[in-house]
Amino acid sequence: MSDNDRPQLCLITPAEIDLETFSDALSSVLDAVETACLRISLSTRDEDRIARAADAVRLVAHERDIPAVIETHVQIAERHGLDGVHLNDGARSIRTARKALGPDAIVGSYCGNTRHEGINAGEAGADYVAFGPVGSVTLGTDGAAEHELFEWWSAMIEVPVIAEGGLTLGLVESLAPVTDFFAFGDEIWNSEDPAQAARALFAPIL
């Protein structure tokens, strides 16, 4: 696999972070594994806490020339100097986000396991689409995004694609030829050593 064909890493923050310690943990992961993009994904609805987290994460990412996007919160992306937004509703909000953030912003969308939703997102102007989960995850999903979806997408569609959700070493190895990015989140943050976990999970394509 050449460097041009090798998938890149999109790192997703934990749903809950300790603002006093997370910057150091994040720095260690970003210094351990080459990362193409950082996604801020928080479960809290406290806008002040989200904003403070966005500032902290942006500083760590931009020190390393890594773009940072945030899930859903278009206004926070605009106000806090982030590079774009990751949407979770397929094609529905892409044009609105693009209008708010401008042509140079990153606007991507999670499209579950649905080819049709991905196509609609691409036609709406998404910079990338994400499919998942690709492995076993918690309740609340509609089923896995299968290998065949990525295989078809990589052959037929030019919009970059991300594989995420329930990633394992075996899934990284098998999906590497048919995806542009892997998004690691809980797979590494639930480990005692997230940096080492990221290196191990990304090993098949280093």
Q: Is the pLDDT of residue 50 over 60?
A: yes
138 in any annotated domain: yes
DSSP-based three-state secondary structure for 52: helix
2 in any annotated domain: no
d(CA 130, CA 69): 14
d(CA 39, CA 54): 10
Residues 6+ apart with CB under 8 A from 19: 49, 52, 53, 56
Task: Give the count of alpha carbons within 13 A of 126, CB side only.
Answer: 29
76 in any annotated domain: yes
75 in any annotated domain: yes
44 in any annotated domain: yes
pLDDT digits (tens, 9 = 90+) for 170-188: 999 999 999 999 999 999 9
Query: Structural domain of residue 174, as residue ranges?
Result: 8-205
- Using alpha carbons, list the distances in angstroms from residue 184 to 93, 99, 164, 203: 24, 29, 7, 13
Task: Give the count of alpha carbons within 13 A of 198, CB side only.
Answer: 26
Q: What is the DSSP letter of 88?
A: S
**What is the pLDDT at residue 139?**
44
CATH number at residue 86: 3.20.20.70
**What is the pLDDT at residue 198?**
96
d(CA 181, CA 11): 10
d(CA 130, CA 111): 6
Q: What is the pTM of this model?
A: 0.94
52 in any annotated domain: yes
Say how many domains are in the chain. Answer: 1
pLDDT digits (tens, 9 = 90+) for 17-46: 999 999 999 999 999 999 999 999 999 999
**What is the pLDDT at residue 168?**
96
1 in any annotated domain: no
175 in any annotated domain: yes
The phi and psi torsions of 6 (rounded to 5 degrees) equal -70, 130
